Amino acid sequence: MVGAPSAASTVPDVDGSALLVVAIDGPAGSGKTTVARRLADALGVDYLDTGAMYRAVAFAVLGRGVDPSEDETVAEIARTMELVLHRDGTVIVDGIDATTQIRGPEVTRVVPTVAANAAVRRELVSRQREWTHRRGGGVLEGRDIGTVVFPDARLKIYLSASPEVRAARRAQEVTDLSYDAVAADLARRDALDSGRQHDPLRRADGAIEVDTSHLLIDEVVALLVRELDETGE
């Protein structure tokens, strides 16, 4: 079955129903990355952090001194860049190890602009689908996995958490910023990710929403494994 066309998307639909795909979407700090990694381990499948791909494009754009709002040039960089994502989280962009820098403040500041570029999204969605087809499935996390990349994923999850909990989690990760600065940055990114024209963050039709505010990682992973079992596969 081909997933229902996603009205706001410029990306064509594909039939992903034969693959074992778990789609995990949600805002920054909702626990996506930790949960997706742990779930992939539990299932014995690979894991794809699609946010790292948008960050890699932003890294390449900054490295070339290009204005992130120059849509055409940025799209060309996305189409031609060599991007390798290793299992251990290492990210190689055009032969350079960008693992640390893609998480830094410069990339974090410009990545929403890059992620709002429709041609960049088309290119990265195509690479994400290719990655998944090559492996017969996987756990993918991002903002548009259940709405655009694989609308017919075996399991679609929308992770949420209160803004306070999300900011507290991020503040623990980035030791050089105050809680208030982190909370303000999260609110800015939430607004950009949810308010953009192309493939904004929203809960996919049929996605199970899990509020992780008061749950342990193990509890979330166990819940998702149970949900997957109940899909009958």
The interface mask with ligand DC, positions 104-143, x = CB under 6 A, is: -------xx--x--------------------------xx
**Alpha-carbon distance values, 192 to 39, 84, 118, 185, 200 (Å):** 28, 27, 14, 11, 8
Q: How far is the CB of 108 from ligand DC (least distance, A)?
A: 7
Q: How far is the CB of 188 from ligand DC (least distance, A)?
A: 10
Cβ distance to ligand DC smaller for residue 195 or 206: 195
Closest CA to 43 of 228, 230, 232: 228
Tell me the number of residues near ligand DC by CB under 6 A. 13
Cβ distance to ligand DC smaller for residue 127 or 135: 127
How would you label 126-146 residue by residue, b for 16+ Cβ within 10 Å and e otherwise? ebbbebbeeeebbbbbbbbbb
Q: Which residues contact 110 (CB under 8 A, 6 or more apart)?
A: 58, 61, 62, 68
Q: Taking contact as CB under 6 A, which single stretch among the options 37-45, 46-54, 69-77, 129-137 is the one that binds ligand DC?
A: 46-54
Return the residues of window 191-230 that contact ligand DC according to CB under 6 A: 193
User: Please, which residues bridge with residue 210 across strands?
Assistant: 159
Q: For residue 51, state whether it binds ligand DC (rule: CB under 6 A).
A: yes
Cβ distance to ligand DC smaller for residue 28 or 43: 28
User: Other C-beta atoms within 10 Å of 171: how many?
Assistant: 18
Return the residues of window 11-40 that contact ligand DC according to CB under 6 A: 28
Cα–Cα dist 42/37, whole Å: 9
Of 189, 220, 221, 224, the one binding ligand DC by CB under 6 A: 189
Classify residue 232 by its DSSP letter: T
Sites of contact with ligand DC (CB under 6 A) = 28, 50-51, 54-55, 111-112, 115, 142-144, 189, 193
